[in-house]
Chains A and B, each alone.
Chain A
Amino acid sequence: MWQPQLSTEVGFRFFKHSERFPVVAAVDIQGITKKFGQFEALRGVDLQIAQGEFFALLGPNGAGKSTLINLIAGLLRPSSGSIRIMGHDVQSDYQQARMALGVVPQELVFDPFFNVREMLRFQAGYFGRGPENDAWVDEVIEGLGLTDKAHSNMRKLSGGMKRRALIAQALAHKPDVIVLDEPTAGVDVELRQMLWRFIQKLNQQGHTIILTTHYLEEAETLCERVAMMKSGKIVALDTTRALLKNHAGKQLTLRLSGALPIDLQAWVKQQQGDEVVLNVTDLWQVETVLARLRAAQVSVLDMQLQEMDLEDVFMNLVGSHGGSVR
């Protein structure tokens, strides 16, 4: 499988940026709540995303990711709290804030009257960009593999192609902060690779990237930092590496000849038939497990040691059984 390469320049780039604009966060979210009638979709979200970050917003369906993005985009207005994009308040200084922002909506929307290139030029035009921007528009078209479809009417594109056009539209004015709400939903492997290559290039040029996805391996390989949301709250916020280190550890799957000894019950993650899954944080604990099994005269029929990935962390934190706020 294609593996995106994490940039090694991240630290340097970040440093350079913070010299030029002293400590202005790309996105600064303060105490955001959002109610739809009685229903509270967001229940107090605070989040700062630095310039140049590659950030993932994860969470199950209905967690409030899109709601948060729509608030950032100014498509919704918060019930309380405030949001700044590159230091500009999305309400009071909306023009500057929106200039700095490119958003790919989750829904596959399009304008049936125009072709891809026309749409992109219009979109750039709304942001005050003129013919001088056409070269960039062509670069986006090429970078997302839309060259063949540049003159096709939006209506006639396949679903995946529409998704590409939607992404291209968000990039048309070359925004500093790029927010992608499930950009890879319904998209083939080729585009996913193409898309991430293109987005990574933008990130290396200093653009801030925020994405939501349900493909956790994408977040794991691409993003420096992730936030996990559940029921309108952020339940975990850390660098991807730290999350994996603190939450993941390893899991030991065993098939035993007899019952699991009492003194090992506390380690059980799940149990199915004669198969038991134990959580272990370190390798030496495997020794302990085996010693206790020997003492209880239970023999091991099969054994497997697995590293957990972001998906397991995710299930631990936001799955229906997890959810303890750390």
Chain B
Amino acid sequence: MMKVLMQWLNPFYWLDDIVPARWRGMYTLFKKELMRFWRVAFQTIASPILTALLYLLIFSHVLEAHVKVYDQVSYTAFLVPGLMMMSLLQNAFANSSSSLIQSKVMGNIVFLLLTPLNTLEFFCAFLAASMIRGLMVGLSIYLVALCFVDVPTVHPWWIITFAVLGSALLGTFGIIAGIWADKFDQMAAFQNFVIMPLTFLSGVFYSIHSLPPFWQAVSQLNPFFYMIDGFRYGFFGQGDVSPWLSLSVVATFMLALAWGCLKMIKSGYKLRG
């Protein structure tokens, strides 16, 4: 009984039979990537949710009374979209990058390199799995946060747009980093010296209007700032810059990165000697 129910809830149970042969290669890689993180969901989904909630608890407890960013928005509510976006970005990145670096170090990347999968299929499969992990983490944080605090959703489409774009951007970033890095410590360096600072300095915990003018200008050079600001605009209907500006910056960045990533895969860089 339980088993039948589980089977029905499993999307692959339905998809496996109906995917056309032309799409099957990409679909299989996507499915494998999805199962890879789902098997260890405690580590890949539950633990980032817990981390985000700890941030929420601590920061809101300490700063709630002192910081007011927008009128009518409590600091705790202000914090929720930022934390959602931060976790979403980090997990989208972690998924593709760790899968690729592990396959390279273990050597099982050859199983993929021997297949007729083309550049676009390779890219899309890794990207889609990363996006799903990022979006799952982001959405879960939102649902759990709702238990503690009221978070409005003024423009749901902006929320969805920035969540999708953000996860795609970092998923792509992860593919690039995964292909580039030869060792785990190179990957860790990439994560700690590039991804982490860019997310933390993008206005997760504050509005950049609270910064001195110089640092405001610097923040505006950080593409991550636009993802978080646009995302937050979707929730509160107000942000530091126009959501259209954020959209154009993020979309441009995404296109450039995807182009670079496709080039990289196609060239066989670090994958085929």
Contact = CB atoms under 8 A, between A and B. Distances in A.
A74 B118 CA distance: 13
Interface stretch (B23-31, B52-60, B155-163): B23-31
Given A112-B106, A113-B35, A127 B115 contact: yes
A76 B113 CA distance: 10
A126 B25 contact: yes
Contact of B27 (A113, A118, A125): A125
Given A105-B110, A113-B35, A113-B36, A130 B19 contact: yes
Contacts of B24: 125, 128-130
A63 B209 CA distance: 66
Secondary structure call for the B interface: helix
Interface string A95-122: 1101101010101011111100010001
A321 to B, nearest CB: 33
Contact of B115 (A96, A98, A109, A130): A98
A75 B273 contact: yes
B32 A122 contact: yes
Given A77-B272, A77-B273, A130 B113 contact: no
Contact of B35 (A101, A114, A127): A114
A73 B271 CA distance: 13
Given A77-B272, A130-B21, A111 B27 contact: no
Contacts of A118: 35
A123 interface: yes
B108 A75 contact: no
Nearest to B110: A105
A196 interface: no
A170 B17 CA distance: 23
Contacts of B108: 109-111
Contacts of B29: 122, 125-126
B206 to A, nearest CB: 39
Interface residues of B, number: 31
Nearest to B18: A130
A198 interface: no
Interface in B1-48: 16-17, 19, 21-22, 24-25, 27-29, 31-32, 35-36, 39
Contacts of B25: 125-128
Contacts of A127: 25, 115-116
Contacts, number: 86
Nearest to A172: B111
A166 to B, nearest CB: 9
Nearest to A173: B115
B272 A95 contact: no
A105 B112 CA distance: 13
Contacts of B268: 77
B273 to A, nearest CB: 5
Nearest to A34: B273
A11 interface: no
Interface residues of A, number: 34
A273 interface: no
Given A111-B103, A113-B35, A113-B39, A74 B19 contact: no
A127 to B, nearest CB: 6
B62 interface: no
A222 to B, nearest CB: 24
B117 interface: yes
A126 B28 contact: yes
B273 A76 contact: yes
A131 B28 CA distance: 12
Contacts of A105: 107, 110
Nearest to A36: B273
Interface in A55-99: 70, 73-77, 94-96, 98-99
A115 to B, nearest CB: 11
Given A125-B28, A130-B21, A75 B35 contact: no
A99 B116 contact: yes
Given A112-B106, A122-B31, A125-B28, 14 more contacts: A70-B273, A77-B268, A77-B273, A96-B116, A98-B115, A98-B116, A103-B114, A105-B107, A107-B107, A114-B35, A125-B24, A126-B29, A127-B116, A128-B24
Interface of A: 36, 70, 73-77, 94-96, 98-99, 101, 103, 105, 107, 109-114, 118, 122-123, 125-131, 169-170
CB-based closest 4 A-B pairs: A125-B28, A109-B107, A126-B115, A95-B116
30 contacts: A36-B273, A74-B272, A75-B110, A75-B113, A76-B273, A105-B107, A109-B108, A109-B110, A109-B111, A110-B106, A110-B108, A114-B32, A122-B28, A122-B31, A122-B32, A123-B111, A125-B24, A125-B25, A125-B27, A125-B28, A125-B29, A126-B28, A126-B111, A127-B25, A127-B116, A128-B22, A130-B16, A131-B17, A169-B111, A170-B114
